[in-house]
């Protein structure tokens, strides 16, 4: 009688654990994995923007930005930044900043900036 009682108690105690195992999903190699939502990296976002906007600033369509084309784009970006932050710069300061940005972005010193150079510069790689 004690054996039956002990066996019954053991079964009652283990019943909730057995129920949890039966209701938990099986994980095996054939089960589909949940898709992972990986956000785009900042470099990918910058590359996408450059690909989209580059033709608008590449006035002569040579797939390079000369100093005036590059400066026009950077001045537009600086204008958006100043509008957002409420800060202002004198036109001479903006021109000096754009000239410095061009010198930095033109990594190969070819006097023009390619898409790859621009992406690198805007990504902070220059």
Domain count, the chain: 1
Closest CA to 96 of 77, 76, 114, 75: 75
**What is the per-residue pLDDT across 84-99, written as a single tens digit (0 to 9) for each?**
999 999 999 999 999 9
Average pLDDT over residues 114-123: 94
* CATH (domain of 118): 1.10.238.10
**What is the per-residue pLDDT across 5-60, written as a single tens digit (0 to 9) for each?**
333 444 445 444 444 444 445 544 444 444 455 556 777 899 999 999 999 999 99
Residues 6+ apart with CB under 8 A from 107: 117, 120, 121, 126
Which domain range does residue 53 map to? 42-122
Count of helix runs (H) and strand runs (E) in the chain: 5, 2
Q: What is the pTM of this model?
A: 0.65
Structure tokens at 25: 């999903």
């Amino acid at each position: 009688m004690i054996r039956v009682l002990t066996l019954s108690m053991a079964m009652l105690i283990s019943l909730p654990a057995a129920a949890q195992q039966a209701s938990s999903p099986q994980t095996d190699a054939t089960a589909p994995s949940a898709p992972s939502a990986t956000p785009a990296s900042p470099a990918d976002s910058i590359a996408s923007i450059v690909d989209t906007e580059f033709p608008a600033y590449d006035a002569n369509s040579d797939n390079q930005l000369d100093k005036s084309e590059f400066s026009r784009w950077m001045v537009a970006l600086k204008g958006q930044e100043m509008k957002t932050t409420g800060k202002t710069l004198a036109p001479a300061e903006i021109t000096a900043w754009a000239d410095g940005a061009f010198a930095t972005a033109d990594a190969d010193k070819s006097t023009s900036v390619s898409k790859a150079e621009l992406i690198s510069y805007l990504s902070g790689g220059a």
